[in-house]
Amino acid sequence: MSLLDAAREVREAAYAPYSNFKVGAAVRGASGAIYRGCNVENVAYPEGTCAEAGAIAAMVAAGETELVEVAVIAGSTEPVPPCGGCRQKLAEFGRGETPVLLATTAGGTLETTIGDLLPGRFDTSHMEGSKA
């Protein structure tokens, strides 16, 4: 199964009664295994979690900390861009050149990379030499 098909499949499980905006995400770990996640909303809105966060959590829970490919799909008219927080989460486990495929359920796609989604990312180098 392709990474996009995995994201499309898990999107069906999304719990999005407040936004009615279902999102599915799939990441491929360095091992080749696919991990999926969907958005999970909450009546206390800020407690909701994004699809990308769920996929990353599944990957880490399985013992992997490196992702090599990402796919995200939603029922939007344009391929939905990951939110700022998810860009940082993806950057934690991927590389600048890691490919990200954004898609719509209608068949639209946009190919990008983690680096293009999050230029100037904060990383450990920014903490080097800091004085408490």
Q: Is 52 a catalytic residue?
A: yes
Structure-token match 């999304």, residue found:
14
Which residue's CB is nearer to ligand THU, number 21 or number 31? Answer: 21
CA distances from 66 to 14, 19, 28, 102, 115 (A): 24, 31, 9, 20, 15
- Which of 23, 26, 70, 100 contacts ligand THU by CB under 6 A? 23
Binding mask 43-82 for ligand THU (x = CB under 6 A): -----x-xxx-------------------x-------x-x
Q: Which helix (H) or strand (E) holds 112?
A: strand 109-113
Instruction: Return the structure tokens found at 95.
Output: 């590389």
User: If binding is defined by CB under 6 A, does position 16 make contact with ligand THU?
Assistant: yes
Tell me which of 52, 64, 78, 111 is the catalytic residue: 52
Shortest reach from residue 125's CB to ligand THU, in Å: 26
* Residue 74 contacts residue 106 (beta carbons within 8 Å): no
Rg (CA), the chain: 15
Sites of contact with ligand THU (CB under 6 A): 16, 19, 21, 23, 39, 41, 48, 50-52, 72, 80, 82-83, 86
